[in-house]
Amino acid sequence: MYRVIRKFKDLKHDEYVYQIGDMYPKEGIDVSKARLKELSTTKNKYKKIYIEEIADTTDDKG
C-alpha cells in the first residue's frame, strides 16, 4: 500500500489526479513494480518522489 506525498496526474494509467494523502493506486488499477519504483524514488522524469510505502500494521497473531 502506498500513500501520495506529492500531487501528480497518473499519465501511464487513467490520468487520475492523485492528491496528497490519497492511496496509490486507486481501487481497480493494477500497476507494475517498475511503476511503483518510479514513483517512490527520484528515478523519474522530474526526479521527485510522489508516493511512499505504508507499513502493514495488521497483526497476524490474531
Among all chains, which residue has been given the C-alpha cell 518510479? 38
Report cis status (omega within 30 of 0) of the bond before 25. yes
Task: Give the global pTM.
Answer: 0.85
Across 52-60, average pLDDT = 79
| Nine-digit cell string for 57 | 500494521
Give the residue extent of every domain in the chain: 2-53
Do the bridges between strand 8-9 and strand 2-4 make them parallel or antiparallel, or are there none, so unpaired? unpaired
What pLDDT is attached to residue 58?
Answer: 67
Report the distance separating Cα 52 and Cα 24, nearest Å: 9
**Which value, in Å, is the radius of gyration of the alpha carbons in the chain?**
12
pLDDT in tens, 16-35: 999 999 999 999 999 999 99
